[in-house]
Amino acid sequence: MLNTLRSRLLAISRPVTLTLAGALLSLNVAAILFGVFARYIAGGAPIWTDELSRFLIIATVMLAAGAVWSEGGHMRVGLLEKLLPAPFARLLNVYQWLLTLLIAAGGAWVSYRYALSVSMFTTSGLGISRTVPLLSLPIGFLLLTWHVLLYGPAPLTTVEDSL
Amino acid sequence: MTVTMLVVFLGHVLLGLPLFIALLTTAFVGFLFVDFSMIPRMMPQQFFSGINVFSLMAIPLFILAGNLMNVSGLTERLMGFARLIVGHLRGGMGHVNVVSSVFFAGVNGSAVADTSALGSLLVPAMEKEGYSRAFAAGLTAGSSLIGPIIPPSIFMILYASLTNTSVGDLFLAGVVPGMLLGVAFMGMNAWYAWRHRLPKSTQLPSLGQLGFAFIAALPALIAPFIIVAGIVLGFVTPTESGALTALYVALCGVMLGGLRLKECWKAILDTARLTSAIFLIMAASATISWLLSYAQVPEQFVSLLSPYVDNSVVILLLLSAITFVTGMFMEEVSALMLLTPIFAPVAMMAGIDPIHLGIIITLNITIALITPPLGACVFVAAAVSRLEIVSLFRTIWPFVLTAIAVLILLILFPPLTLWLPTLLG
Amino acid sequence: LIGSALMAGNAVAETTINLGYNGAPDPEKNAVHVFATNLKELVEEKTDNQIQLELYPNSSLGEEQERMEQTMSTPMLNVASFAGVSPLVDEIFVSAIPFLFDDFAAARTFFDEGAYWQEVSAALKERAGIDMLAVVEEGGFLAFTNNETPISHPDDFEGLRFRAMDPSQVALYEAFGASGTPIPWTETYMALRTGVADGQMNPPMYIILGSLYEVQDYLTLANIQYSNQFLVGNSEMIAGWDDELRGAFQEAVAEANHNAREHNEEQVDSRIAYLEEQGMEVIRPSEEDLSAFRDIGQPAYLEWLEERDIEQRWIDMALEDAGMSDLLD
Ligand code: NA
Ligand code: NA
């Protein structure tokens, strides 16, 4: 019962976050192209495209982090768990899971505090508070925590299995 | 501190943690040594600033261009043209593999995209011609190294942003070394084909066929010239060039038929996935880089190597050896990010041209893509050719050695890299 | 006896303070590095080694904004440029009004004694807990360079394309009838060489640093803007020192800054001579032409400041300090 709920939630949140990430990436391409066309056709480039593009990519990266983790898409060496006898491999998976969970949750908390602490800085291009782009970090780490929790301490797939 | 961090890092890599988690764990442990109270500020600050760099934004765009190439049918056109040029030679399909990589390199910035795109089509074709599957997969992985050496190149963009060198000059400097790699791998392939008495096609392609294939491949063939010229002449930044390339490839795909919105979206999602994987590693590496420079590790390293600065060849060989060993155990982007700030001052002291150093480091890092146990291209080549990874680890070494031979050639003769940027720059 | 003397000497705890700045640790090329090494020497000497400085060149502690964040929250010193201070005190752009100073003496008086700069310092302290310790000269006044025509009057700009560093520069070029395109510093040489841009503006130090004299024929010394960086420090740290220590430290800062200014002024003439030797034609506009630059350039910049929503009182103060209140009418 709990397991079906977990896998159902995972099956929803994975494509949803990836779709959002893809949308931000497309927006980024559009912003950069707009900058080029503005420079050569309209005769003057806006100064905020550079900054917008950076913030969009960082948001893309952080949004997709959890979904990519649950797909086994983050680069890693999965050799040891295949060589170890099953009980040890299981133990190893638990350690991987716990450490990732710890780093993700810690990262969310620490980066949230940090993002709030730099609100007095104004970004040079968009003229917004530095907190805004930095919030990508806690949101991303939170999504990572969420996906790690949903996935549970099961073995992760690696690049060579997935292709 | 450095030793503990190294042990923690390698330990967690071997335990199978995702690299960015292993890197963050390592940084955390390192901060405990220096000053615990810095963690809440410095870790998120450097994590963010490590990827808050405009020139890095070119990376997702060139990945996107590569992905769009594959779904728009342009990759197949390139391969078809390569087949007509070199396919009739002995070991024709092997040559096709290398030449396609050279063509593909002109649009694509990453080796992994090259391996997966060409490998799935060419490994079976090579097997049919009598190659062993291991050699075919090895050649696919090996020749994919040409991708990041011939412009555009993600590694060079990264190097340029770390050292404030001109991306345009680096791109130009990569053209000759990339061709050299191509020639070297074709030589290897010819030797293999001759030794195994592979068949030779007696049928030469007609001029008409050749012209037809050339025209079909033309849109993809001219793309690299547009990219490089735009950057070198200063019309666009590398990032803008990436966006324009992606747009160009997508438009070609639509006009030549074949590219639909659904595939386009799939290419975008795949790009988002890979970008997330790469950038998280870069962000996590940045926290370690900052810590190392705060603890003045680069200065210690410089003083360690300073007895040899009179001889730039020795310095480059030493730096290459260090990169090679590091690259065996580390993901390439993070290795590049960690090593470049440490190497650049040493090379400056030895009077090495930063462009030359950039090509040497890039080639080194690229070779790390096919060195066991942690070479991304080996993994992908094994996967697309359905080969046991360990057996590919055995057959990959001749390809590694060939690439190293090219590397040494470049170290001994700097004009091989510097000639083109000096000529056109 | 020796033991007790040693103990007495160590009675006051030594502290090591980090000083971060931009650019390579190369005294030939980096004026800020010369200032930093001199400051380190003087601080250690004048405080009897109670304060020791650890130098971090090459932005190795972080880029501009990151170093400012660190200065806010940890005991450290930092040499910031405009890019570091302006996200906290946007009003600092007022001090970059073009053609504001006739010479070094005028600029130094403006920063050392003016009411505007005191307000900027107070704002920085209030908003971020950072003390503004010194305005450090780094390369002389900005000059125009280009490879089309000897520019001696704003009219000569007509139709030229200029590399711009930020939007304020674009506004200035457009006021002169030229156009401005943002090009990063690392790509500037190529852009000038290939004709993507015809010219740019920078102090002579940077023109030499970037070998721009190879691709630019004309150098116009129009004293466009004063080129400076800012020594800042964590307020809490400085307030925490006893009066004697703080006094010694401030003395060291003042002396190091004085030395840096002398060094800079000395270098400027030899740098211009060097550029002349490399084949650049040096143009020194007449008083009349300089006021033409001023009359066209300043209103455009003031308009840009207005677009940035900078309160008028800051502009009033700065112009008053610079003896240019006539612009206010
Ligand atoms: Na390439
Ligand atoms: Na590797």
The two tokens of residue C134 are 């010194």
Find chains touching chain A: ≥3 CB pairs under 8 Å.
B, C
Residues of chain C positioned with their CB less than 8 A from the CB of A39: 181
- Rounded CA gap, C74 and B81, in Å? 62
Mean pLDDT, residues B403-410: 94
User: What are the backbone angles phi and psi of residue C141, rounded to the nearest 5°?
Assistant: -80, 155
| Burial B362-391, CB ≥16 within 10 A → b, else e | bbbbbbbbbbbebbbbbbbbbbbbebebee
Neighbours of ion ligand 1 (CB under 5 A): B 105, 147, 150
Q: Which residues surround ligand 2, an ion (CB under 5 A)?
A: B 327, 368, 371, 374-375
CB atoms within 10 A of CB A67: 26
In this structure, how many other beta carbons lie within 10 angstroms of the beta carbon of residue B245? 28
Q: Are strands C130-141 and C161-164 parallel, antiparallel or unpaired?
A: unpaired
Chain C residues with CB-CB distance to A under 8 A? 65, 68-69, 73, 83, 86-88, 90, 127-128, 166-167, 170, 179, 181-182
What pLDDT, in 10s, does the model give residues B166-190? 788 888 899 999 999 999 999 999 9
Between C203 and C189, the higher pLDDT residue: C203
Q: What is the pLDDT of residue B425?
A: 58
Instruction: Decide if A54 touches C, using CB distance below 8 A.
Output: no
Q: What is the C-alpha separation between B254 and B260, in angstroms, rounded?
A: 7
Phi/psi for C97 (5° steps) reads: -55, 130
Strand partners, C232: C78, C132
The arithmetic mean of pLDDT across residues B148-176, rounded, is: 84
Cα separation, B127 vs B120, in Å, equals 12
Q: What DSSP assignment string belongs to B199-211?
A: -----PPPHHHHH
Distance between CA atoms of residues B379 and B386, nearest Å: 10
Distance of alpha carbon A7 from alpha carbon A5, whole angstroms: 6
Higher pLDDT, B92 or C109: C109
More confident residue, C277 or C166: C277
If pLDDT is split at 50, 70 and 90, which confidence band does B163 have?
A: confident
* Band (C282; pLDDT cuts 50, 70, 90): very high
Structural domain boundaries, residue B411: 2-423
Q: Kindly report the pTM of this predicted structure.
A: 0.82
For the cut 90, the answer to whether the pLDDT of residue C21 exceeds it is yes
Contact by Cβ (8 Å): B34, B295: yes
pLDDT of A161 higher than 70:
no
Average pLDDT over residues B196-220: 80
Q: Which has more confidence, B64 or B120?
A: B64
By the 8 A CB rule, do B82 and B88 touch? no
pLDDT, position B418: 87
Question: Distance from the CA of C71 to the center of ligand 1, in angstroms?
Answer: 41
A136 pLDDT exceeds 60? yes
Whether C83 and A45 lie within 8 Å, measured CB to CB: no
Cα(B180) to centroid of ligand 2, in Å?
A: 22
E-assigned strands of C125-208? Answer: 130-141, 143-146, 161-164, 179-182, 199-202
Contact yes or no for C46/C248 (Cβ under 8 A): yes
Subunits with at least 3 CB pairs below 8 A relative to chain C?
A, B
Contact A47 C127 (CB under 8 A): no
**Could you give the CA distance from residue B335 to residue B3 in angstroms, rounded to a whole number?**
16
Contacts of C183 in chain B (CB under 8 A): 234
pLDDT tens for residues B62-112? 888 888 888 888 888 888 888 888 878 888 888 888 888 888 777 766 677
Please check the confidence at residue B147 and state whether its pLDDT lies above 90: no
Residues pairing with C145 in the sheet: C200, C219
CA of B113 relative to ligand 1 center, distance in Å: 10
What interhelical angle do B397-412 and B312-329 show, nearest 10? 150
B225-234, B355-364, B389-398, C228-237: segment of lowest average pLDDT: B225-234
CA–CA gap between residue B359 and residue B171 (Å, rounded): 9
Answer whether residue C131 shows pLDDT above 80: yes
Residues 6 or more apart from C328 whose CB is under 8 A from it?
Answer: C315, C316, C319
pLDDT at A44: 62
pLDDT for the residue numbered C12: 54
On the question of pLDDT at C11 being above 50, the answer is: no
Q: What is the pLDDT of residues B28-63, one digit of tens each?
A: 999 999 888 889 999 999 999 888 887 678 878 888
Judged against a pLDDT cut of 90, whether residue C235 lies above it is answered with yes
CB C301 within 8 A of CB C98: yes
Cα-to-chain-centroid distance, residue C266: 17
User: CB–CB of B380 and A50 under 8 A?
Assistant: no
A/C interface, count of CB pairs below 8 Å: 27
Cβ contacts from A onto B, under 8 A: 173
Task: Say whether C140 sits in a helix, a strand or coil.
Answer: strand
**Sequence-ordered list of residues with C-beta below 8 angstroms from that of B289, at least 6 positions apart, any chain:** B46, B50, B337, B338, B341
Q: What φ, ψ does residue C161 adopt, rounded to 5°?
A: -110, 125
Helix or strand holding residue C55 (H, E): strand C51-56
Q: Within an 8 Å CB–CB cutoff, is residue B425 touching chain C?
A: yes
pLDDT of residue A157: 75
Q: What is the mean pLDDT of chain A?
A: 88
Looking at the partner chain, which of B42, B46, B166 has a beta carbon nearest the beta carbon of C190? B166
Distance set, CA C44 to CA C15, C79, C245, C249 (Å): 11, 18, 11, 9
Q: How many domains does chain B have?
A: 1
Strand partners, C52: C16
DSSP type of residue B234: T
Question: Would you call C80 helix, strand, or coil by DSSP?
Answer: strand
Count the neighbouring beta carbons within 10 Å of the beta carbon of residue C243.
Answer: 7
Sheet holding C51-56, edge to edge: C51-56, C15-20, C76-80, C226-234, C130-141
Give residue A106's pLDDT: 97
Give B212 to chain C, closest Cα distance, Å.
36
For residue C72, the chain B residue with the least C-alpha distance is B41
Best mutation target, A28, A49, A61, A132, to test chain B (most B CBs within 10 A): A61
Per-residue pLDDT reduced to its tens digit, A52-102: 999 999 999 999 999 999 998 887 777 788 888 989 999 999 999 999 999
Secondary structure class of A124 (helix, strand, coil): coil
Mutate to test the interface with A, among B17, B32, B276 (most CBs of A within 10 A): B276
Q: Which residues 254-293 on chain B approach chain C with CB closer than 8 angstroms?
A: 290, 293
B31 Cα to chain C: minimum distance (Å): 14
Is A121's Cβ below 8 Å from some Cβ in C?
A: yes
What is the ipTM score, two decimals? Answer: 0.82
Amino acid at B370: I
CA distance C86 to chain A (A): 8
User: pLDDT averaged over chain B?
Assistant: 84
